[in-house]
Amino acid sequence: MLGVLEGFATISVIVAVGWLLAHLRVLDDSAQVNLSRLAFYAASPALLLTVMQRTPLDAVVSRNLLTSVTSFVVIAVVYVLLARLRWPGQGMGSQLIGSLSAGYVNAGNLGIPIALYVLGDVAWVAPTLLMQLLLITPVYMALFDSDARGERPRLLRSLRRMFSNPITIGAIAGLLIAVLDIDLPRVVSDPIALLGNMAVPSMLVAFGISLRRGPLPAAGASARHVWTIVGLKVLAMPAVALGVGLALGLRDQALFAVVVTAALPTAQNIFTYAVRYRREVTLARDAIFISTFAAVPVIIAIAGLFHAVAGI
Q: How high is the pLDDT of residue 153?
A: 64
Per the CB < 8 A criterion, the answer to whether 286 and 157 are in contact is no
Average pLDDT over residues 117-143: 80
Whole-number Å distance between alpha carbons of 169 and 226 = 31
Cα angle, residue 136 at apex, residues 48 and 35 outer, rounded to 5°: 45
Mean pLDDT score across all residues of the chain: 86
Helix (H, G, I), strand (E, B) or coil at 267: coil
Give per-residue pLDDT as tens, 170-182: 878 888 898 888 9
Whole-number Å distance between alpha carbons of 29 and 207 = 11
Q: How many structural domains are present in the chain?
A: 1
User: What share of the chain in percent tops pLDDT 70?
Assistant: 88
Confidence of residue 126 (pLDDT cuts 50, 70, 90): confident
Average pLDDT over residues 107-134: 74
Give per-residue pLDDT as tens, 222-248: 789 999 999 999 999 999 999 999 999
Whole-number Å distance between alpha carbons of 57 and 67 = 17
**CATH number, position 19:** 1.20.1530.20
pLDDT at 193 exceeding the cut of 70? yes
Residue of 251 and 9 predicted with greater confidence: 251
pLDDT at 139 exceeding the cut of 90? no
Residue of 160 and 306 predicted with greater confidence: 306
Give the number of other CB atoms < 10 A from CB of residue 183.
8
Q: Give the range among 39-53, 177-191, 211-225 with minimum mean pLDDT.
A: 211-225
Spatial CA neighbour of 235 closest among 259, 208, 210: 259
Spatial CA neighbour of 270 closest among 304, 233, 300, 311: 233
Give per-residue pLDDT as tens, 25-38: 999 989 988 998 89
Whole-number Å distance between alpha carbons of 97 and 283 = 8
Instruction: Tell me the HSE value of 180 on the side-chain side, using a 13 A CA sphere.
Output: 9
User: What share of the chain in percent tops pLDDT 90?
Assistant: 43
Hey, what amino acid is at 215?
P
Average pLDDT over residues 288-310: 88
Whole-number Å distance between alpha carbons of 242 and 267 = 21
Average pLDDT over residues 200-212: 86
Print the domain residue range for 38: 2-310
Whole-number Å distance between alpha carbons of 128 and 144 = 22
Whole-number Å distance between alpha carbons of 105 and 234 = 10
Per the CB < 8 A criterion, the answer to whether 268 and 40 are in contact is no
Q: What DSSP assignment string belongs to 168-235?
A: HHHHHHHHHHHHTT----HHHHHHHHHHHTTHHHHHHHHHHHHHHHSPPTT-GGGHHHHHHHHHIIII
Which pTM does this prediction carry? 0.80
Whole-number Å distance between alpha carbons of 128 and 123 = 10
Q: How high is the pLDDT of residue 113?
A: 62
Average pLDDT over residues 249-262: 93
Average pLDDT over residues 260-282: 92
